[in-house]
Amino acid sequence: MRILVVEDEKRIADFLSRGLQGAGYAVDTAATGGQALDCVHSADYDLVILDLMLPDMDGMQVLERVRSRQVGPPVLILSARGALDDRVKGLEQGADDYLVKPFAFVELLARVRALLRRGQPAPEKLQVSDLTLDCIRRKVARAGESIELAPKEFGILEYMMRNKGRPLSRTMIVEHVWDMDYDGLTNIVDVYIRHLRSKIDDRFTQKLIQTVRGIGYMIESPDKPAERTAEPAAERQV
């Protein structure tokens, strides 16, 4: 992941650069709007952190130029101008986030991570064998037949399908699908998997949801279609 830091104040630029490099990112810095545009035109960045008050131009102009590119990186504005007007204007002009100076580095890092995650291409439609899941319309179908799922069931299935072929522990599933206020048992996952199986797998000879002993669950197309009909023991807690 490569980040461009556009900041004319050397002290802040160095601080950001060191911190982000320490967090594992490749970082380039630009001290003027002109340099920033040169960088953006000559390299592919996953994120641009942009100061608004630059010596040669307003950061908003840089933003405008970055946004005029077809596939521009996300832009996080970092500015001492914290007025609501400035924030609204920045976001309206296509900035993805806005952080007011002074800021805590941990907060910046959290925003950076969120923006970079968002930049990951997420397929709209997932497929495992004849099971399809439409992430946008939130529809599930197997062999062309539509299946109704409750929201949590959908969340678990989507998570499993995004990680097709990868065993997921109950804890991973809980952390992904329930919010952080949930402090119940991971057994709840077994309950939901049972519901999912009854809706997705029971009527079909090909079972897609697999129990991975000692770990949890996984979804994949079975190697031997029509032969895995036995329900493996799923109740052991990890």
- Integer Cα distance of 208 and 146 in angstroms: 16
Bridge partners of residue 169, in order along the sequence: 216
- Integer Cα distance of 68 and 93 in angstroms: 11
Which is closer to Ca ion, CB of 51 or CB of 96?
51
Which is closer to Ca ion, CB of 33 or CB of 216?
33
Tell me: does residue 53 bind Ca ion (CB under 5 A): yes
Which is closer to Ca ion, CB of 63 or CB of 126?
63
Please pick, from the candidates 4, 8, 99, 210, the single residue that binds Ca ion as defined by CB under 5 A: 8
189's tokens = 């996952």
Structure letter (DSSP) for residue 133: E
Which is closer to Ca ion, CB of 99 or CB of 161?
99
Which is closer to Ca ion, CB of 30 or CB of 219?
30
Shortest distance in whole angstroms from residue 86 CB to Ca ion: 13
Is residue 45 within 8 Å of 3, Cβ to Cβ?
yes
Shortest distance in whole angstroms from residue 3 CB to Ca ion: 17
Specify the residue for token string 């000879």.
205
In the window 151-190, what residues touch Ca ion (CB under 5 A)?
A: none
In the window 12-51, what residues touch Ca ion (CB under 5 A)?
A: 51
Residue 85 φ/ψ, nearest 5 degrees: -55, -45
| Size of residue set near Ca ion by CB under 5 A | 3
Q: Which stretch in 53-61, 178-186, 193-201, 212-220 sits in contact with Ca ion by CB under 5 A?
A: 53-61
> 73: Cβ–Cβ under 8 A, 6 or more apart, which residues?
4, 40, 44, 45, 46, 47, 48, 66, 119
Contacts with Ca ion, residue ranges (CB under 5 A): 8, 51, 53
